[in-house]
Amino acid sequence: MKFLTLLCFSLSFLCNTSISAAEFTWDEAHKPHHGSQEIKVYRSPTCNCCHNWIKHLEKHQFTITDMLTHDMNTVKEAVGLPPKMASCHTAIIDGYIIEGHVPADDIKQLLKDKSDIAGLSVPQMPVGTPGMEIGSRKDNFIVFQFDKKGHYSIYNQYLLTELNEYQAHPPEDSH
């Protein structure tokens, strides 16, 4: 967990770069809201990428309660986050745990489906995810769904096209 805190701090200056096309891509809403728009986000006050993720959610009409804390480990333990799903910030919406840089449209889909899971996570901090845009550099990434027992599976997968744009690939048997 100390590694994630250090990584978040180290990358925070990079997340303050000028607005790129990647940011505008994530800011386009492709799914309507179903359910709550109130989301509580726990984050370190020194992490700018977390703040950028909050801005992403606000552009998707979420109402944010920003909870600053220097003890993210306690927050993650208190909500029952499986350690393998850990990232830099933790959010709660309608009883679901949202961990890391999960795209807003995936959160909206979760709220629509009312899935019987504990939450969604983008573990670690992949470059190019909402709030982690750093120029044209992007990583493929997976949004995992997980249950309270720590079992997890793919909820959505984002792969880069030849044009360096993300394309969603949800599993065929899901939402």
Task: Give the pLDDT confidence of 25-63 residue by residue, as tens digits.
Answer: 787 767 667 777 999 999 999 988 888 999 999 999 999
Pairing state between β 63-68 and 90-93: unpaired
Q: pLDDT tier at 102 (50, 70, 90 boundaries)? A: very high
Residue 43 lies in a domain: yes
> For residue 84, what is the DSSP state?
G
Residue 174 lies in a domain: no
Report, as an integer, the average pLDDT of 150-156: 95
Q: pTM surpassing 0.75?
A: yes
Residue 173 lies in a domain: no
**Count of CB atoms situated within 10 Å of the CB of 45:** 11
pLDDT at residue 101, as a whole number: 95
Given the structure tokens 């939450």, which residue do they identify?
119
Average pLDDT of the chain is 85
R_g over Cα of the chain: 15
Q: Which residues contact 2 (CB under 8 A, 6 or more apart)?
A: none
Q: What span, in angstroms and rounded, lies between the C-alpha atoms of 121 and 102?
A: 6
Residue 175 lies in a domain: no
pLDDT at residue 6, as a whole number: 41
pLDDT at residue 19, as a whole number: 39
Cβ proximity of 36 and 98 under 8 Å: no
Cβ proximity of 73 and 87 under 8 Å: no
Cβ proximity of 42 and 100 under 8 Å: no
Report, as an integer, the average pLDDT of 17-21: 38
Report, as an integer, the average pLDDT of 61-75: 95
Q: pLDDT tier at 175 (50, 70, 90 boundaries)? A: low
Residue 95 lies in a domain: yes
Domain count, the chain: 1
**Domain residues for 115?**
2-168
As given in the structure block, the two tokens for residue 123 are 């573990």
Q: Please say if the pLDDT value at position 14 is more than 60.
A: no
